[in-house]
Structure 1
């Protein structure tokens, strides 16, 4: 009798066992407000907070793997991580059915940024030959023809914050930045020293991609991300770090699983 009761208790305890961790990738080239990395682990930021909240709502602990951006896809392919966020299908055009995409969660807006305000939008094709601040390993499709012709040359830094620091210090006249990082950077400066967006180079809807593995709560993750977006939680997190909630909406071509 006692052994039967112990067996029953063991089954019950196993039923309440903690879910396995959800393993998220963190690109080491990200900077605030996307993520703050300290001693090899993320501690705060838009993507950190969103991933941590997602894992909590799914009922799994979050585990973060900080990787070089070029290694993220290989880590996914080798099942070292489960979820990659802040990615676009156009960036990963050859994904197989081993992966499932979330709804679009953010809009990444790439900007041409200058220390000086401009009365009109800058047309990159009309710029004289000069270096432009860029992030190492990042692709800039709208500027690539100008890089190929050597009209513009890349001046690479390790992350987006370093790019803007070099622009502010006068290392070059223009740099490329996403809207979030520019807003975050300008919050630390008085109005007369802030950097200025002088052209919109590209807008891209981005979301999360998860490995289609039976061992993972794939549908729960997708439904949770949908709920977080529709209820405004993700936009609230963005507003917390950038000073304002997004005014644009990522396209929502999606059917709930």
Structure 2
């Protein structure tokens, strides 16, 4: 499905490896979560019908570049290859480093240099790459929840996880024997906009400005806290 063929839609991409609270993906379709709520809010502001495409992480850039979708949200330019337009920063995201109680508590990211860190396949971690260099030893799994389960089973001593996912999984009862988390990064992420989209970047930015002003972004997040 292309954005060009559906001029009155907003086609949003979501990675198939994303977990709750960001995305409730079942049978290849998005049924709930932050990405659905955010997509619906943007579509309402743009007076368009929301269409969601769930794709593997490594196919997102191609779909966006080819104009098969309009936007991909909660990303940064350094996380995504290709030439895309970018909205204003607006969506808060934090990455946490979790360390098992069986290991020494790190006081800085540099303290885990050379040790395997649980990561998600296809995801970029530029802050860890800059801090650890060649000492950033990735141990990839398919999703953040798989990463947390691997950690809980004692199969890895360090993992990096999105704070929203960590908080949500803790809330629903996933017990983790871990030291207090170490914040790897905190920033405002953006939406990548296809250069072939029929929706002007200025319109999408205008919709985002309205949502931020109305407190809608924080309300979406608070629904899962």
CA contact (8 A) 1:35 1:45 kept: yes
2:3 is matched with none
SS in 2 for 1:176: strand
The number of residues matched between the two structures is: 220
Greater relative contact order structure (CA < 8 Å, 6+ sep): 2
CA distance in 1, matches of 2:215, 2:64: 29
Q: CA deviation at 1:195?
A: 4.5
1:21 is matched with 9
CA distance in 1, matches of 2:20, 2:56: 16
TM-score scaled to structure 1, two decimals?
A: 0.75
**1:174 and 2:158 are equivalent in the alignment:** yes
Match of 2:194 among 189, 195, 211: 211
CA distance in 1, matches of 2:110, 2:137: 13
CA distance in 2, matches of 1:126, 1:219: 43
1:53 is matched with 41
Q: CA deviation at 1:29?
A: 1.5
Q: Compared with structure 1, are the counterparts of its residues 60 and 177 closer, same or farther at alpha carbon in structure 2 (3 Å cutoff)?
A: same
**1:111 and 2:99 are equivalent in the alignment:** no
Q: Compared with structure 1, are the counterparts of its residues 171 and 89 closer, same or farther at alpha carbon in structure 2 (3 Å cutoff)?
A: same
Superposed CA RMSD: 2.8
1:33 is matched with 21
CA contact (8 A) 2:67 2:197 kept: no
CA contact (8 A) 1:112 1:177 kept: yes
Q: Compared with structure 1, are the counterparts of its residues 194 and 49 closer, same or farther at alpha carbon in structure 2 (3 Å cutoff)?
A: farther
Q: CA deviation at 1:63?
A: 0.7
Q: CA deviation at 1:212?
A: 4.3
CA contact (8 A) 2:105 2:179 kept: no
Question: Gaps spanning 5+ residues in structure 1: where?
Answer: 1-17, 244-257
CA contact (8 A) 1:33 1:45 kept: yes
Q: CA deviation at 1:180?
A: 0.7
Q: CA deviation at 1:209?
A: 2.3
**1:43 and 2:35 are equivalent in the alignment:** no
CA contact (8 A) 2:46 2:207 kept: yes
Match of 1:102 among 49, 62, 87: 87
> What pairs up with 1:18-167 in 2 under 5 angstroms?
20-92=8-80, 95=83, 99-116=84-101, 122-127=107-112, 129-144=114-129, 149=134, 151=135, 153-167=137-151
Bigger Cα displacement from structure 2, 21-30 vs 52-61: 52-61
CA distance in 2, matches of 1:92, 1:213: 17
Q: CA deviation at 1:54?
A: 1.2
Question: Gaps spanning 5+ residues in structure 2: where?
Answer: 1-5
CA contact (8 A) 1:19 1:59 kept: no
CA contact (8 A) 1:121 1:198 kept: no
CA distance in 1, matches of 2:172, 2:129: 31
CA contact (8 A) 1:111 1:202 kept: yes
